[in-house]
Amino acid sequence: ENEKVQEQASNISGSAQQTYNEEDLRSMVENMMGMQEAEWIAESAIGNSEILKKLLEYSFSDDRKLAFRASWTLSKVFDKYPGIISPDMPMMIDALDKLDNESVQRSFLRIISLSDINKVSARQHGILAEHCFEMLKSGFSAIAVKAYSMEIIYKLAMTYPELANELSATISMLQAEGSAGILARGHIILKKLAGISADQGSGPTLH
Protein backbone atom coordinates (compact mmCIF):
# COMPACT_ATOMS: atom_id res chain seq x y z
CA GLU A 1 0.00 0.00 0.00
CA ASN A 2 2.84 2.34 0.89
CA GLU A 3 4.57 1.67 -2.45
CA LYS A 4 1.30 2.22 -4.31
CA VAL A 5 0.82 5.67 -2.74
CA GLN A 6 4.44 6.56 -3.49
CA GLU A 7 3.98 5.52 -7.12
CA GLN A 8 0.81 7.63 -7.40
CA ALA A 9 2.65 10.59 -5.88
CA SER A 10 5.39 10.18 -8.45
CA ASN A 11 2.79 10.10 -11.22
CA ILE A 12 1.19 13.40 -10.24
CA SER A 13 4.31 15.32 -9.21
CA GLY A 14 6.85 16.73 -11.62
CA SER A 15 6.68 20.10 -13.30
CA ALA A 16 4.41 22.81 -11.96
CA GLN A 17 2.38 22.88 -15.15
CA GLN A 18 2.02 19.12 -15.47
CA THR A 19 -1.50 17.72 -15.74
CA TYR A 20 -2.48 15.11 -13.19
CA ASN A 21 -5.05 12.40 -12.70
CA GLU A 22 -7.63 13.64 -10.19
CA GLU A 23 -8.78 10.10 -9.51
CA ASP A 24 -5.22 9.20 -8.46
CA LEU A 25 -5.00 12.29 -6.24
CA ARG A 26 -8.28 11.58 -4.47
CA SER A 27 -7.28 7.95 -3.99
CA MET A 28 -3.94 9.02 -2.52
CA VAL A 29 -5.59 11.36 -0.03
CA GLU A 30 -8.27 8.83 0.90
CA ASN A 31 -5.72 6.06 1.47
CA MET A 32 -3.08 8.16 3.18
CA MET A 33 -1.79 6.24 6.19
CA GLY A 34 0.70 8.56 7.83
CA MET A 35 3.23 11.36 7.73
CA GLN A 36 5.29 10.05 4.82
CA GLU A 37 2.33 9.89 2.44
CA ALA A 38 1.22 13.36 3.54
CA GLU A 39 4.72 14.67 2.78
CA TRP A 40 4.66 13.15 -0.73
CA ILE A 41 1.30 14.73 -1.52
CA ALA A 42 2.41 18.06 -0.03
CA GLU A 43 5.49 18.07 -2.28
CA SER A 44 3.23 17.47 -5.28
CA ALA A 45 0.96 20.35 -4.25
CA ILE A 46 3.93 22.70 -3.88
CA GLY A 47 4.81 22.05 -7.52
CA ASN A 48 1.28 22.08 -8.93
CA SER A 49 -1.31 24.74 -8.08
CA GLU A 50 -4.14 22.53 -9.35
CA ILE A 51 -3.30 19.90 -6.74
CA LEU A 52 -3.25 22.58 -4.05
CA LYS A 53 -6.65 23.79 -5.23
CA LYS A 54 -8.04 20.25 -5.01
CA LEU A 55 -6.69 19.79 -1.47
CA LEU A 56 -8.57 22.92 -0.44
CA GLU A 57 -11.70 21.65 -2.15
CA TYR A 58 -11.42 18.25 -0.46
CA SER A 59 -11.05 19.97 2.91
CA PHE A 60 -14.71 21.01 2.64
CA SER A 61 -15.93 17.59 1.51
CA ASP A 62 -18.84 15.85 3.25
CA ASP A 63 -16.52 12.83 3.38
CA ARG A 64 -15.08 13.59 6.80
CA LYS A 65 -12.04 11.34 6.41
CA LEU A 66 -11.13 12.83 3.03
CA ALA A 67 -11.61 16.36 4.41
CA PHE A 68 -9.41 15.69 7.44
CA ARG A 69 -6.59 14.15 5.41
CA ALA A 70 -6.69 16.92 2.80
CA SER A 71 -6.57 19.67 5.44
CA TRP A 72 -3.78 17.87 7.31
CA THR A 73 -1.80 17.73 4.05
CA LEU A 74 -2.38 21.48 3.60
CA SER A 75 -0.77 22.04 6.99
CA LYS A 76 2.26 20.09 5.74
CA VAL A 77 2.39 22.30 2.64
CA PHE A 78 2.29 25.33 4.96
CA ASP A 79 5.18 23.97 7.03
CA LYS A 80 7.37 23.78 3.93
CA TYR A 81 6.22 26.89 2.04
CA PRO A 82 3.87 29.09 4.09
CA GLY A 83 3.62 31.66 1.32
CA ILE A 84 1.76 29.19 -0.89
CA ILE A 85 -1.06 28.82 1.64
CA SER A 86 -1.20 32.45 2.84
CA PRO A 87 -3.46 33.70 -0.01
CA ASP A 88 -6.09 31.15 1.05
CA MET A 89 -6.07 32.13 4.73
CA PRO A 90 -9.02 34.59 4.41
CA MET A 91 -11.15 31.78 2.97
CA MET A 92 -10.16 29.49 5.86
CA ILE A 93 -11.10 32.18 8.40
CA ASP A 94 -14.47 32.83 6.77
CA ALA A 95 -15.19 29.09 6.82
CA LEU A 96 -14.42 28.48 10.52
CA ASP A 97 -17.94 29.04 11.85
CA LYS A 98 -19.44 26.81 9.17
CA LEU A 99 -17.10 23.84 9.66
CA ASP A 100 -18.62 20.91 11.53
CA ASN A 101 -15.51 18.76 11.04
CA GLU A 102 -13.28 19.46 14.06
CA SER A 103 -10.30 17.75 12.43
CA VAL A 104 -10.40 20.24 9.54
CA GLN A 105 -10.94 23.11 11.94
CA ARG A 106 -7.88 21.99 13.89
CA SER A 107 -5.73 22.03 10.73
CA PHE A 108 -7.02 25.45 9.68
CA LEU A 109 -6.51 26.93 13.16
CA ARG A 110 -2.98 25.53 13.25
CA ILE A 111 -2.15 27.22 9.93
CA ILE A 112 -3.71 30.52 11.09
CA SER A 113 -1.93 30.39 14.47
CA LEU A 114 1.44 30.13 12.71
CA SER A 115 0.65 32.84 10.14
CA ASP A 116 1.00 36.61 10.09
CA ILE A 117 -2.61 37.52 10.87
CA ASN A 118 -1.92 41.19 10.19
CA LYS A 119 -2.21 40.26 6.52
CA VAL A 120 -5.96 39.67 6.80
CA SER A 121 -8.71 42.28 7.20
CA ALA A 122 -10.06 43.81 10.41
CA ARG A 123 -13.36 42.07 9.66
CA GLN A 124 -11.59 38.73 9.68
CA HIS A 125 -9.81 39.68 12.91
CA GLY A 126 -13.27 40.05 14.42
CA ILE A 127 -14.32 36.63 13.11
CA LEU A 128 -11.17 35.06 14.56
CA ALA A 129 -11.57 36.68 17.98
CA GLU A 130 -15.20 35.63 18.31
CA HIS A 131 -14.61 32.10 17.03
CA CYS A 132 -11.50 31.45 19.10
CA PHE A 133 -13.04 32.71 22.33
CA GLU A 134 -16.02 30.47 21.63
CA MET A 135 -13.68 27.49 21.17
CA LEU A 136 -11.82 28.31 24.40
CA LYS A 137 -15.03 28.54 26.42
CA SER A 138 -16.61 25.42 24.91
CA GLY A 139 -16.55 22.27 26.98
CA PHE A 140 -16.39 20.20 23.80
CA SER A 141 -13.38 21.66 21.96
CA ALA A 142 -10.29 19.47 21.62
CA ILE A 143 -7.14 20.49 23.49
CA ALA A 144 -5.32 21.30 20.23
CA VAL A 145 -8.19 23.55 19.10
CA LYS A 146 -8.03 25.43 22.40
CA ALA A 147 -4.23 25.75 22.20
CA TYR A 148 -4.31 27.16 18.66
CA SER A 149 -7.20 29.48 19.59
CA MET A 150 -5.18 30.80 22.54
CA GLU A 151 -2.22 31.59 20.28
CA ILE A 152 -4.43 33.32 17.70
CA ILE A 153 -6.09 35.56 20.30
CA TYR A 154 -2.69 36.40 21.76
CA LYS A 155 -1.55 37.53 18.30
CA LEU A 156 -4.73 39.59 17.94
CA ALA A 157 -4.10 41.16 21.35
CA MET A 158 -0.81 42.53 20.02
CA THR A 159 -2.94 44.72 17.74
CA TYR A 160 -6.08 44.98 19.91
CA PRO A 161 -4.86 45.26 23.53
CA GLU A 162 -8.41 45.20 24.91
CA LEU A 163 -8.44 41.45 24.21
CA ALA A 164 -5.61 40.80 26.67
CA ASN A 165 -7.65 40.93 29.88
CA GLU A 166 -10.43 38.77 28.47
CA LEU A 167 -7.91 36.21 27.25
CA SER A 168 -6.17 36.18 30.64
CA ALA A 169 -9.49 35.59 32.41
CA THR A 170 -10.44 32.84 29.97
CA ILE A 171 -7.09 31.07 30.38
CA SER A 172 -7.42 31.23 34.17
CA MET A 173 -10.82 29.59 33.84
CA LEU A 174 -9.37 26.90 31.56
CA GLN A 175 -6.60 26.07 33.99
CA ALA A 176 -9.25 24.71 36.35
CA GLU A 177 -9.83 21.94 33.80
CA GLY A 178 -6.45 20.49 34.71
CA SER A 179 -5.33 19.41 31.21
CA ALA A 180 -1.52 19.33 31.17
CA GLY A 181 -1.41 20.68 27.60
CA ILE A 182 -3.72 23.58 28.38
CA LEU A 183 -1.91 24.36 31.65
CA ALA A 184 1.45 24.52 29.86
CA ARG A 185 0.23 26.59 26.93
CA GLY A 186 -1.82 28.85 29.19
CA HIS A 187 1.16 29.56 31.43
CA ILE A 188 3.27 30.61 28.43
CA ILE A 189 0.53 32.86 27.03
CA LEU A 190 -0.18 34.48 30.43
CA LYS A 191 3.48 35.46 30.77
CA LYS A 192 3.45 37.00 27.29
CA LEU A 193 0.16 38.80 28.02
CA ALA A 194 1.51 40.61 31.08
CA GLY A 195 3.26 43.24 28.97
CA ILE A 196 0.25 43.80 26.72
CA SER A 197 -2.10 44.34 29.68
CA ALA A 198 0.20 47.06 31.02
CA ASP A 199 -0.19 49.00 27.76
CA GLN A 200 -3.93 48.47 27.41
CA GLY A 201 -5.73 51.32 25.78
CA SER A 202 -3.29 51.82 22.91
CA GLY A 203 -3.98 50.51 19.45
CA PRO A 204 -7.17 50.15 17.37
CA THR A 205 -10.43 48.79 18.74
CA LEU A 206 -11.78 45.48 17.52
CA HIS A 207 -15.41 45.67 16.40
pLDDT digits (tens, 9 = 90+) for 107-158: 999 999 999 999 999 999 999 999 999 999 998 899 999 999 999 999 999 9
| Highest averaged pLDDT of the listed ranges 79-88, 126-135, 169-178 | 126-135
Residue 181 bridge partners (DSSP)? none
d(CA 63, CA 67): 6
d(CA 86, CA 117): 10
| Best CA proximity match to 116, nearest among 91, 74, 151 | 151
Where in the chain are the domains? 1-115, 121-202
**Amino acid identity, position 193:** L
